[in-house]
Chains A and B, each alone.
Chain A
Amino acid sequence: MNDIFDHNPQGSLLFKFILLASISATVMVFDYRDTVLYPVRTTLTMITYPFKYAVNLPFDTYEYLVDYFSEHKKMASENRQLRSTLDLYVARNQKYHSIAEENIRLRKQLHAIPRMGEELLLAQILSVSGNTFRRKVTINRGANDHLYTGQVIIAGKNIYGQIDSIAPDSAEVMQLTDIDHAIHVVNKTVLKRRKKSTDKETKIKEQGRGALAVGTGKTNLLELRNIEANMDIKKGDIYVSSGLGKLYPPGYPVAVVSSIEYNSGDSFMKVMARTLTDFTQTREVLAIWHNKNMIVANEEEPESQLKKNKANEKSTLKK
């Protein structure tokens, strides 16, 4: 007898189904077209963050331990090498600061807008998106560290991607290879080639030729679109960001051409390129602030930095 009353009546199931399905459809439309649901997503991300962290913890610990117990000798030699590179970079940095100062002086003379230096923040990759066909990762920095949606993320000196959505303590980064992602790039190698030839006209002409590097959804692979059939391009050419579109800073390496296909009769070539960032190996990335969003001009900064550096130098000399 109890069985009859206990059982979910089919009518109520159908009602619930229709209700939930229509709610889902509404939510989807809003999420696709509008930004009103961002707080909801942020809240859900925050709730699930500890869970995500807990799942990743054993794997991170394992990797940490493997790193920790790797051969001491190797570590020591690496350390020595890194120290020497560091010295090199300190010297280079010094040079950079003097150039920056000079630049500011010259810009002042020209009454130009001061160019800002770039600020960096190191972030760790927490987890990779479970969705096989998207290329997204979660990093352990978020709005609390003043990161923002659309911020550029780099790995080493290469571009990694941009921030897609953000929560207080984490952010989702869209990699260059995500199918939704595109970046405007220019060929850097071709300029070098042109420099050798004396033909100035072609050099100028080639400078403006860019391409759109669109993600393929596959690991480390980009497709370069809008490359005309008569363009000078070779396997191994390096493409750097052009800075068009105001999102990415110009001059950062993006990809190296891996294959070129051309069907006679087409107006464009099919060019594939490997990213210079190895997305399977990268564990740490840098979030950068470049002058697009750092509107608060602080002209004194490089100079004071220079003074600080000099002071540091003196103190080290005294020692």
Chain B
Amino acid sequence: MKKLLGILVAVVMLLTMIPFALAQDVTIDYWFWADNDGYAATMQEMIADFNATNGKGITVVGSQVPWDGGGYSNTVFTAAMGGGGPDVATWKLTATPAFVANDLLAPLDGYLENWADYEQIEESLWEVMRQVGGGEKVYVMPWNTQVLYVYYRPSMFEAAGIGVPETYEEFLDACAKLTKDGVYGFGMRGATGGQEPWGSFIHARGGTFEDLTTPQAVQGMNDFIDLFKNGFTPPTAPSDGFSQIIDNFKSGLTAMTVHHIGSSAGMVETFGEDVGAFVFPAGEGQWTSMGDTENVMFASCENKEAAFEWLAYLAAGKGQETWCKVTGNVPVAARVKEMEEFQNNPFMKVSIAGAPYAGILPILDTTTEWISGVWPATVQQALLGDITAEECMEILQTELHK
């Protein structure tokens, strides 16, 4: 009897060990960019946390890849086309069409159907993800967003005797009144990336991206040119990129500039309480750009279920909370958005207030080239007076919708 009992105990022990034996350890290669070494360290901590807590034998190995002014997407593309690359990578929506056209991304629909946290993310955002993937499948997992708004210096507004602009006309008027004593009213971005704040001017006059040649869109372009011509922006505006507009604002050279919450930590570090934000005001229309950062899974990934676990951790799990708290980006998961820390952040409040008007450029085959080459080259010519606003908008329209 004792012998039989011994055998029985041994069999039970063996049976309990089977699931552990079957659960094979898998490794997921993850590529990401980080805006500074602090964020890179945070990402490695999140990876360590996921590896320690997922309980499924999944080990994520994170590699930081330089953002390289957007060259990040090309690096990932080259690696993927060469048959290598990561299993999962941090992402920008604009890169999606080229990767989908080459069958490099894995569709996520099968995993999303059974994902308990699917409804944590707004349906409108899923719709955007579907659109960039061609309209039918979701290839891109939302992670965080950044809604562009206007940073301003309350002390400069006070000195100029004006309040926060509530209409587009008041905003243009503020640009003029704030220009004095070596300070420029508006930090304009004329180099790559400038199409985002520029889009607000076009829409404020009632224009749209669908037809950039309408009188309303041309009027918006004229406003943009006039700010530069009248000296309300730094003379370097046509070639100013992200670094220049932020550095100019931080050094007190400009009184207002357009960017998103990702810069807020640095602004507060520089100015303390002497920095505020407001939504780009409405004219005949209102629009602001939604910046985005997502994650994707590659078609070549051999352990897709494990990769999805990591995607889910970032989109609605602990990763979502940690990353957005550290970077100040706007979370996509409702549970995290509702957290007190996010509700009490003034920059987050402005981001959320601007969200209803936030949108993206049409994602077409031409968009990437239009953003990186056509827009800066054409708008620079218009700012410098080489072409008229009408000619500029004609070129932009033709090149975007060709």
Pairing of A with B: no
